[in-house]
Structure 1
Amino acid sequence: MSKQVYEHIEESLYHEKLENGLTVFLLPRPEMSKTYAIFSTNYGSMDRTFVPIGQQDKITVPDGIAHFLEHKLFEKEDRDVFADFGKQGASANAYTSFTKTAYLFSSTTNVEDNVKTLLNFVQDPYFSENSVEKEKGIIGQEIKMYDDQPDWQSFMGTLKSLFKETPVNIDIAGTVESIAEITKDDLYTCYHTFYHPENMTFFIAGNFEPDNMLALIRENQASKEFSKLEEIKRDFPNEPSAVAKSENKIVMPVSVSKCTIGIKESTKELEPQEFIKRDLLQDIILTYYFSKSGQFYEELYQENIIDASFYFETNLEKNFGYSIIGGNTDNPELFTKKIIELLLSTKTQQLTEDDFERMKKKKIGQVLRSMNSLENIASKYIHYHHVGIDYFELIPEIQKLTVQDANGFLSGWIAEERLAVCKIVPE
């Protein structure tokens, strides 16, 4: 077990890669009463075309299967795993994103028992034809629920406008039609391909003793047999730089229109240094222009173009990236015009040294505040680990950025062919 001390944030992180390939991170916080653990696999809804382990030819599985698999792992032949965690005083959950699936718990008692439960249930799949058919009805209802949510339809409508080929334009849960095609054998194929310890990460943070915790995890993993993992061959389509369509209008039973402007940030795989630089600058620049303390937000608010629902978000993954700016508006045409005018104007703008230093300090403050949350640390650390970046080195990376970096980013950030608009309008 190796130990790394991060003096600038006063943290000590323990790390080991076990013999079976599982990467383990331990962040002891003895001053806290809660412990939080997350067991994550580098497998998400985008991984729909791949070569199954032990085979030669690639296959394409039904949309929504990663999310379906997440649901099914909690159900065993004789019990529901949520009940196991409940008896041990833990709150458990799971989530599937475009790029990963994660299983987690938090508790103040029985931490070691809950760690064993987390490791054991994820590594012990049980799927039957009857339970798979039953789950289709449950997830089908979940899909229909999201179909009726304007916020989710706005989000997915924007991604479908931005991306033509990349499977980020497909709903994580799939469709009622696609999940109807899922079989027990499909689930086992995906599980055995992507749920090998070599493709997984375990992160635990909170009140525990690191030597004892790692000994428990080692013993647990040594009691199980895993064949050596072959290289996972995933197939992603080539994505054009331009958006799939510049505008997407969706009619729904809403009282107020919603409007989002999407920016197609990245369409290719980035190296770690290029990734972290772009990741930070996307967020810093968006915050500069669109935060509620900014001049542009105040102008739109005073003109009654936006309300308190206005938001922006940015996401960069290894193979794609996007930013979204949106909210409720009574005038989606004017909202769109104002946002796009500002975005296009950034190409010729130059930030001053003082402006950029303030922006960097604000970003550092946000990162430090987020590190008060065990949940945030664990999920962010795994996110950055998958792309070869140490999350605890984020602040030095921010400090290294220069105003020349920011202005260089601005000069090539926005192009009309990489902008898309999604409008949710009343029936």
Structure 2
Amino acid sequence: MNKKIYEQINETLYEEVLENGLKVYLLPKKDFQKTYGLFSTNYGSIDNIFGYAGEELKSVPDGIAHFLEHKLFEKEEGDVFQKFGDQGASANAFTSFTRTSYLFSASNRVKENLLTLLDFVQEPYFTPETVEKEKGIIGQEIQMYQDDPNWRQFFGILNNMYPKHPLHIDIAGTIESIAEITADDLYRCYETFYHPSNMTLFVVGDIDPNEMMTWIKENQATKTFSPIQEIIRQFPEETSADIIPFSSVQMPVNRTKAVVGIRGFEADLPETAKEQLVFRTAIQLYFQMLLGNTSDNYLNLYQEGVIDDTFGFDFSFDRSFHFADFATDTTNPDLFAEKMEAILLNAKQDPGVNEENLALLKKKMLGKYFQSLNSLEYIANQFTQDLFGELTLFDLPAVIQAIELEDCLRAGEQFIKKENFSRFYLEPLSKED
């Protein structure tokens, strides 16, 4: 078991790759009452065309990763949530574009709950009858999200930026796509993506790492897995020419919800994992200098009534995609979009992009980071999302501190390109409707 000491944040991380390929990370946190365990697979909603190296790739229906997450909790002997509850633990799970994760939190009976987590995820049980039953439940969930204006706004801009890539499809799929899912489909996806070599186990809390690792190894030694094989995923090729510059839909909202998106392309990214983490951090700081709530641009736009308290922006970076989105509720969406594009395309000349602002924003980013380390849930959920090669969530402070203005300007130049912009408006229903 390898031991990594992060002196700056006073944390010690233990890590080991087991014989079956499972990557285990243990983070002891003394004086914390709860223990969190997160079992995550590198498999999400976008992984719909796949296969093993040297084999023909096959496609599966949209929404199957999320469907599989739901079904794993249901066993022949009952619901796993009930078992966690009987053991004094709470459990949860979530599916993102690229990951599916299963989580428990407990103040006691940690060993029982850890083994329950490992066992239920590694013992699938699907039947045609239970699969059909689940379709109605997930169908209701899909409809609920379709009625959510913020959700529709987000997937509206994704559809513009990624019209061919599965990123634009709701994580839960569609009513039509989940109707096609069979128990055989679920088993095929499970056998491919839930192999230990494609999974990560992270446990944080008042734990003894040696004792915890012994429990994990003993549990895994009782199970048989197929040989490790390389998984191949396929995504459609897209260029700037595929981006839809503008689209809109109508919903029962009071004011237009406008969003401006910028799509990035893999060819413009730095090559190494560390450089990519620097790029992600630098572009986040760059946008804060330009449009953070202490920037002159933000204050001017707010005073002019172009944006209001609903304004926000985000930069998403994951395998096979990265993009930024800037959104607000507004009575003048065209003016908002024009102002956003002007600020972003002229960012290098913006007076707010300077050494003094960068230094302040780095301190603010570090402060938020250190504060977040007080939450075991944040650490557990964020850790597997922030693996950049050998770098982890705990390497972030050093990366932030090393960022210079030149890094931000370079990242902006690589990412902000006029041909990669798109607009999406969610407009109020017209009076005729």
Above 0.5 in TM-score?
yes
1:295 aligns with 2:296: yes
SS at match of 1:358: helix
SS at match of 1:203: strand
Structure-2 change in CA distance of 1:82 and 1:386 (3 Å): farther
Asked whether the 8 Å contact 1:143–1:176 carries over to 2, the reply is: yes
Asked whether the 8 Å contact 2:42–2:98 carries over to 1, the reply is: yes
Q: How far, CA to CA, are the matches of 1:26 and 1:235 in structure 2? A: 33
Within 5 A, what are the aligned runs for 1:17-416?
17-51=17-51, 56-242=55-241, 244-268=243-267, 270-349=271-350, 351-385=353-387, 387-416=389-418
Q: How far, CA to CA, are the matches of 1:286 and 1:206 in structure 2? A: 34
Q: How far, CA to CA, are the matches of 1:153 and 1:280 in structure 2? A: 28
Structure-2 change in CA distance of 1:340 and 1:49 (3 Å): same
Q: TM-score, normalised by structure 1?
A: 0.96
Asked whether the 8 Å contact 1:46–1:99 carries over to 2, the reply is: yes
| Range moving further from structure 2, 348-357 or 21-30 | 348-357
Asked whether the 8 Å contact 2:160–2:243 carries over to 1, the reply is: yes
The structural deviation recorded for 1:349 is 4.1
Q: How far, CA to CA, are the matches of 1:312 and 1:406 in structure 2? A: 17
Q: How far, CA to CA, are the matches of 1:413 and 1:41 in structure 2? A: 29
Amino acid of the structure 1 residue aligned with 2:26: L
Asked whether the 8 Å contact 1:347–1:413 carries over to 2, the reply is: no
CA RMSD of aligned residues (A): 1.7
Q: How far, CA to CA, are the matches of 2:49 and 2:366 in structure 1? A: 38
Structure-2 change in CA distance of 1:264 and 1:208 (3 Å): same
Structure 1 spans left out of the alignment, 5+ residues? none
Structure 2 spans left out of the alignment, 5+ residues? none
Deviations 1:371-413 (A, max 9, x none): 2221222222211226542221111112222222222223343
Identity %: 45
Q: How far, CA to CA, are the matches of 2:23 and 2:396 in structure 1? A: 20
Amino acid of the structure 2 residue aligned with 1:290: L
The structural deviation recorded for 1:141 is 0.6
Deviations 1:102-143 (A, max 9, x none): 000112121111101100000000000000001011101110
| Range moving further from structure 2, 11-20 or 288-297 | 288-297
Q: How far, CA to CA, are the matches of 2:316 and 2:374 in structure 1? A: 21
The structural deviation recorded for 1:223 is 0.9
Asked whether the 8 Å contact 1:239–1:267 carries over to 2, the reply is: no
Deviations 1:76-114 (A, max 9, x none): 112011101111111111111111100001121211111
SS at match of 1:372: coil
Q: How far, CA to CA, are the matches of 2:149 and 2:31 in structure 1? A: 42
SS at match of 1:124: coil
Asked whether the 8 Å contact 2:38–2:104 carries over to 1, the reply is: yes
SS at match of 1:40: strand
Amino acid of the structure 2 residue aligned with 1:315: S
Q: How far, CA to CA, are the matches of 2:333 and 2:155 in structure 1? A: 18
The structural deviation recorded for 1:257 is 1.5
**Which residue does the alignment assign to 1:417?**
419
Amino acid of the structure 1 residue aligned with 2:23: T
Asked whether the 8 Å contact 2:277–2:388 carries over to 1, the reply is: no
Asked whether the 8 Å contact 1:347–1:412 carries over to 2, the reply is: no
Q: How far, CA to CA, are the matches of 2:112 and 2:247 in structure 1? A: 49
Q: How far, CA to CA, are the matches of 1:88 and 1:306 in structure 2? A: 49
Q: How far, CA to CA, are the matches of 2:52 and 2:20 in structure 1? A: 19
Amino acid of the structure 1 residue aligned with 2:34: K
Q: How far, CA to CA, are the matches of 1:151 and 1:197 in structure 2? A: 36
The structural deviation recorded for 1:206 is 0.9
Amino acid of the structure 2 residue aligned with 1:254: V
The structural deviation recorded for 1:289 is 1.9
**Which residue does the alignment assign to 1:5?**
5
